[in-house]
């Protein structure tokens, strides 16, 4: 039985960061959840790029915690449905999915602790070695800094790197991507991310200019609402189209997969609405034969991608929570494995977080 | 220039209420906004059916107010875009739309106060007399109480009444709707609202059983995500399909209109994301030749429907805020007119609200 759910809010500072869709990003918000049930404590979290975190905290404290206390923690999927229905009027995606995710992750942790199984095993997966790519949130960085960041990724042995695109001047994007390609050579994969900044026509033009750089994918070229636009881009461009972080409900993934609007399905267990929801996204990708990757939540995604048929890359995110974890994710030769301890393996380092409590 | 935005949270108790999609509803949450700019004070609000209101308050206080203070209040549409983009990562509909709406409504109020014009005039409308229908949130009410409520609607002269459907037993729905039809006779319009409770197949079966009652519309028969399902129902059933309260972005209305999934477009300036967003929904309806109606926000909707080409009905909602307004909306022979004073005409009665401040 769920005895209590405690949430806490932190605002974590970031170095100069930003992208074409969200502008400058100067902080990451973290909302942690500790869920007590049957003598166990499961941990979960939600994050934002600096906006909306207080609202996520409010949903957990005022709406979800009172709803779940007293219920059986074991039936994780039914509790996801209970939360979803409770927030239906203000939810069906959007911000509500972030709050549901934080609780859902803690429930999966409890399930793992109870069964003595790591998360990937609960999901029916094997502890695979997964290639990771180094990922920057670097649109405002001048070129020398951008290249310095990429050199850092190469030193860590990542087989792939990602940079942001979507500068006002198309030629500048082209020059930056070209410089990165020259730096990394042909053996390292290169992804680019436009963060929804373009119209479909702009994305076609920008995409064509970048096709020569041999890109592994073009991420979020246009507004997530425009599924037909994504389908047109996926059909017309030779670049594979990757989406997922902005899809806040399994039904949104379904539309993308059904309409041929995505080539690489990216899961994010926070923005998608929890592990329970990301699993549905992975199942949709598997059924369509699509490769999968991840966005953020590196430590959880390592488990989730082990339950996917065609995981191609885990994103090692510039804002990764590693500095705030008791056991930061190990990256060996640019690859990661899921943790082997029961549950998610996710434990926040209280001392590291304390200065940022809000 | 916007000098300050103050928000307040209230939890207003309700009598026994509920529907098939949201279950029992025992309180309404109200988040008020007072926006000060250039010596004027504009008022706005968001509401919920008892869940998520604290999160709406948090978004306004922590994310939107700091963003808007210091900006020019006059450019309402640009500020809507600013708010939308600021909350993009956690938004694009959902709960974020409720918070944006509260501020947007206050900005329209300021615009009206500054120009000395009532809202409908700002929107290019004339102060039309609009038929209103009495609307219950009455699924849990036993039949005698349901009929008592409908008798109350008839006494107020409403030319239409709406009741909830979606009881587990289809025969019970049929009996209740039949009893209401017998009570109101053939001259009063009768709408029913399923609040998203059915699958498409269930909605087809339930809809066919109700076709004989001569219904004016069937509202929210199935999940809002299933636009194709709504289109199938709109094509197959002889009942007009009404939707709108669950659409939290103009792009969601666009899908419904483009795919022929809606026969009557219902606007709700809070859940749609503000007056600015509801206007886009009305424009889509006009362009498609579709009639329009409203959901909740009776006092604001009276203005908005004056800017529509084919407004058929304003919903006089069971939870209307009239008890908490300085000037409750006047209903004369079941019809309403927009207020004539500058701005929205919306002013909360501080004394009536005070006991419910949270």
pLDDT tens digits, one per residue of B159-191 = 999 999 999 999 999 999 999 999 999 999 999
**Cα A130 → chain centroid:** 15
Nearest to A36 by CA among A85, A69, A80: A69
* Residues in chain A closer than 8 A to B223 (CB atoms): 251
Nearest chain B residue to A25 by CA distance is B86
The one catalytic residue among A43, A141, A162, A164: A164
Q: Outline where DSSP puts E strands in B203-329.
A: 217-219, 241-243, 264-267, 292-294, 311-317
Q: What is the CA radius of gyration of chain A?
A: 19
Strands B189-193 and A130-135: unpaired
The 8-class DSSP code of residue B308 comes to: S
Regions in chain B scoring below 70 on pLDDT? none
Amino acid A318: pLDDT: 87
Annotated active-site positions of B, please? 164, 295
Q: How many Cβ contacts (< 8 angstroms) between chains A and B? A: 121
* Residues in chain B closer than 8 A to A52 (CB atoms): 59, 63, 87, 89-91, 96
Nearest to A19 by CA among B89, B214, B49, B201: B89
Q: How many other CB atoms are there within 10 angstroms of residue A171's CB atom?
A: 9
* Residues in chain A closer than 8 A to B99 (CB atoms): 55
Nearest to A304 by CA among A256, A244, A255: A244
Q: What are phi and psi of A334, to 5 degrees?
A: 75, 15
Q: How many other CB atoms are there within 10 angstroms of residue A126's CB atom?
A: 9
Regions in chain A scoring below 50 on pLDDT? none
Its ipTM equals 0.95
Amino acid B15: pLDDT: 85
Give the closest-approach CA distance of A67 to chain B in angstroms.
Answer: 11
pTM comes to 0.96
* Nearest CB neighbour to A86, from listed B51, B55, B58: B51
Amino acid A55: pLDDT: 98
User: Which of B55, B223, B250, B280 is best to mutate for the A interface (most A CBs within 10 A)?
Assistant: B55
Kindly list the structural domains of chain B, giving each domain's residue range(s) and its CATH number in brackets, ordered by start. Answer: 2-116+349-356 (3.30.390.10), 121-336 (3.20.20.120)
Name the helix (H) or strand (E) containing B6: strand B2-19
Amino acid A180: pLDDT: 98
Nearest to A7 by CA among A35, A27, A29: A35
User: Is A295 one of the catalytic residues?
Assistant: yes
Q: What are phi and psi of A114, to 5 degrees?
A: -65, -40
* Residues in chain A closer than 8 A to B89 (CB atoms): 22, 48-49, 51-52, 246, 271
The one catalytic residue among A43, A162, A248, A295: A295
User: Which of A14, A25, A48, A58 is best to mutate for the B interface (most B CBs within 10 A)?
Assistant: A58
**Cα A336 → chain centroid:** 15
The Cα B179–Cα B8 span in angstroms is 42
Nearest chain A residue to B252 by CA distance is A225
In angstroms, the first-to-last Cα distance of chain B is 30
Tens of pLDDT, residue by residue over A145-199, are: 999 999 999 999 999 999 999 999 999 999 999 999 999 999 999 999 999 999 9
Nearest to B76 by CA among B103, B39, B46: B103
**Interchain proximity B225–A249, CB inside 8 Å:** yes
């Amino acid at each position: 039985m769920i005895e209590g759910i405690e949430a806490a809010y932190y605002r974590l500072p970031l170095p100069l960061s930003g992208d074409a869709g969200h502008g400058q990003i100067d902080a990451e918000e973290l909302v942690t959840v500790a869920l007590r049930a049957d003598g166990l404590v499961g941990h979960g979290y939600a994050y934002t790029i600096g906006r909306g975190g207080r609202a996520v905290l409010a949903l957990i404290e005022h709406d979800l915690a009172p709803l779940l206390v007293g219920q059986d923690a074991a039936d994780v999927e039914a509790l996801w449905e209970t939360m979803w229905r409770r927030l239906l009027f203000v939810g069906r995606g959007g911000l509500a999915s972030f709050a549901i995710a934080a609780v859902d992750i803690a429930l999966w942790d409890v399930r793992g602790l109870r069964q003595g199984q790591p998360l990937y095993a609960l999901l029916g997966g094997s502890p695979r070695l997964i290639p990771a790519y180094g990922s920057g949130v670097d649109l405002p960085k001048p070129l020398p800094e951008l290249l310095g960041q990429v050199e850092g990724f190469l030193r860590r042995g990542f087989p792939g790197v990602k940079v942001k695109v979507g500068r006002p001047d198309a030629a500048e994007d082209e020059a930056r991507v070209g410089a990165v390609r020259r730096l990394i050579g042909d053996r390292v994969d290169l992804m680019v991310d436009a963060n929804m900044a373009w119209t479909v026509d702009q994305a076609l033009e920008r995409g064509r200019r970048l096709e020569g750089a041999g890109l592994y994918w073009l991420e979020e070229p246009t507004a997530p609402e425009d599924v037909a636009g994504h389908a047109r881009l996926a059909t017309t461009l030779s670049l594979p189209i990757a989406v997922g972080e902005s899809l806040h409900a399994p039904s949104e993934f379904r539309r993308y997969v059904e309409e041929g609007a995505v080539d690489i399905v990216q899961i994010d267990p926070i923005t998608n609405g929890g592990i329970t929801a990301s699993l549905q996204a992975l199942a949709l990708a598997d059924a369509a034969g699509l490769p999968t990757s991840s966005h953020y939540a590196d430590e959880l995604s390592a488990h989730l991608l082990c339950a996917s048929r065609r995981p191609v890359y885990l994103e090692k995110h510039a804002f990764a929570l590693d500095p705030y974890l008791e056991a930061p994710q190990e990256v060996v030769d640019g690859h990661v494995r899921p943790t082997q301890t029961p549950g998610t393996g996710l434990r926040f380092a209280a001392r590291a977080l304390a200065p940022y409590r809000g």
